[in-house]
């Protein structure tokens, strides 16, 4: 067992060295991540940019969706561009916190850059059996966050981590492991968090901005959604939805709907939760959460989404009622299958 562990550590170190070398061989790197970017995605991109940019190399972070207002405290967030703002000719493309083209948004924007790039690189902590073709694909599903992998990439290559980089990485780390409360927390996560904290980061600002900051519009949206939540399967399944009509009436947008799934999962005995956000007449964003023993990642994957066993999401091109019906049917089946395993 000890020998196997040592071999895995050696293999991982070689992968981190190879990824850094590939970045350094590049003149201009386009960095991107998934749609509806969170602190892990954004923090990882910004940390990579700060670590590898220099006079001989340009790293350009690009996201299809805007940075949520509550993440505007992340150092360097203003440098993130939208696809329509690009005027670069990158020789490399690096995907962080995702490994599929479909997860980067409208694939039309990224496809031309992929076609012209000399190399495609991937750094991700999501489990995905079919990542897009890449020169280097470093996927570690056991990592609690992609920010954790970025930290290892930097330390394995003796790249200094300053306070701003530490802020981005710590924010990404605790956003994905729930401040070390979720089941993806490991001894390594705690060690990485401790070492980043020692860099003198502003823990209070990070905590408040990530977990305790909502706009007035967001509070009203959450109140409306919670007022009409529904349950089934002996209260083991809970769901709620946000109608676009409500957003329009409040003058709100999708950024005001972030981080609402945790409220559902407070219900005693709940096993699976689903939040449906109507973004158009035939477009619904679905956020899924689960307790240990269930896998909402597989449910999201069935609808071309992704994520983890206990937290995942997808977008469905269908009316709200139809999207709810399809996803809830899959959730009910997961609960029924679990009942069958107990008998």
Give CA–CA dist 304/318, Å, rounded. Answer: 13
List CB contacts of 171: < 8 A, sequence separation 6 or more. Answer: 39, 43, 71, 74, 147, 206, 209, 210
Least confident of 4-18, 35-49, 160-174, 185-199: 4-18
Over range 313-328, report the average pLDDT.
97
- Give yes or no: residues 161 and 270 share one domain: no
Last residue of a domain, one of 170, 188, 210: 210
Evaluate if residue 343 carries a pLDDT over 70.
no
State CA 306 to chain mean position distance: 10
Over range 191-204, report the average pLDDT.
98
CB distance 323 to 316 below 8 Å = yes
- Give yes or no: residues 152 and 135 share one domain: yes
Percent share of the chain, pLDDT over 70: 96
Last residue of a domain, one of 210, 237, 261: 210
Give CA–CA dist 312/296, Å, rounded. Answer: 6
Domain of 23, CATH number, reads 3.90.1640.10
Last residue of a domain, one of 165, 188, 210: 210
- Kindly report the pTM of this predicted structure: 0.91
- Give yes or no: residues 74 and 54 share one domain: yes
- Give yes or no: residues 230 and 107 share one domain: no
CB distance 194 to 235 below 8 Å = no
- Find tokens 């981590």 and name the residue: 161
Longest dimension (CA), the chain: 64
Evaluate if residue 4 carries a pLDDT over 60.
no
Tokens of 267: 């219900």
Q: Which H helix or E strand runs over 277? A: strand 272-280
Beta partners for 158?
none
Evaluate if residue 57 carries a pLDDT over 80.
yes
Question: What does pLDDT average to over the chain?
Answer: 94
- Give yes or no: residues 191 and 239 share one domain: no
- Give yes or no: residues 69 and 106 share one domain: yes
The domain tally of the chain equals 2
Domain of 265, CATH number, reads 3.10.310.30
- Give yes or no: residues 17 and 158 share one domain: yes
The string of pLDDT tens digits covering residues 252-283 is 988 899 889 988 999 999 999 999 999 999 99
- Give yes or no: residues 291 and 150 share one domain: no
Residue 8, pLDDT score? 63
List CB contacts of 336: < 8 A, sequence separation 6 or more. Answer: none
- Give yes or no: residues 168 and 253 share one domain: no
- Give yes or no: residues 135 and 179 share one domain: yes
Q: Is 242 helix (H, G, I), strand (E, B) or coil?
A: strand
Give CA–CA dist 40/146, Å, rounded. Answer: 6
- Give yes or no: residues 293 and 251 share one domain: yes
- Give yes or no: residues 166 and 250 share one domain: no
CB distance 64 to 45 below 8 Å = no
* Domain span holding position 231: 216-342
């Amino acid at each position: 067992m000890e020998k196997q562990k040592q071999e895995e550590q050696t293999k991982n170190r070689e992968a981190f060295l190879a990824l850094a070398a590939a970045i350094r061989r590049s003149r201009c790197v386009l960095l991107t991540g998934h749609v509806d970017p969170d602190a892990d995605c954004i923090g990882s991109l910004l940390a990579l940019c700060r670590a590898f940019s220099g006079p001989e190399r340009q790293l350009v972070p690009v996201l299809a969706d805007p940075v949520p207002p509550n993440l505007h405290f992340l150092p360097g967030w203003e440098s993130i561009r939208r696809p329509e703002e690009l005027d670069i000719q990158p020789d490399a493309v690096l995907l962080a916190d995702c490994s599929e083209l479909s997860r980067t948004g409208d694939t039309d924007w990224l496809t031309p850059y992929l076609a012209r790039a000399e190399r495609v690189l991937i750094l991700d902590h999501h489990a995905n059996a079919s990542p897009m073709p890449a020169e280097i694909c470093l996927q570690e599903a056991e990592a609690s966050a992609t920010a954790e992998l970025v930290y290892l990439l930097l330390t394995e290559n003796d790249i200094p981590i300053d306070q701003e980089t530490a802020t981005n990485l710590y924010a990404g780390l605790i956003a994905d492991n729930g401040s070390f409360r979720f089941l993806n927390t490991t001894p390594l996560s705690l060690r990485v968090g401790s070492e980043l904290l020692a860099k003198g980061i502003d823990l209070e600002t990070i905590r408040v901005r990530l977990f305790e900051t909502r706009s007035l519009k967001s509070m009203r949206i959450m109140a409306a959604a919670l007022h009409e939540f529904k349950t089934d399967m002996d209260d083991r399944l809970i769901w709620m939805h946000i109608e676009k009509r409500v957003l329009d009436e409040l003058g709100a947008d999708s950024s005001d709907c972030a981080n609402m799934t945790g409220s559902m999962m407070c219900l005693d005995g709940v096993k699976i939760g689903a939040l449906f956000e109507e973004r158009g007449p035939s477009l619904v964003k679905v956020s899924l959460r689960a307790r240990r023993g269930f896998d909402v990642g597989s449910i999201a994957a069935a609808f071309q989404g992704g994520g983890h066993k206990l937290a995942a999401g997808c977008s469905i091109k269908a009316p709200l009622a139809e999207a709810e019906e399809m996803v809830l049917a899959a959730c009910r089946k997961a609960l029924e299958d679990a009942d069958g395993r107990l008998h």
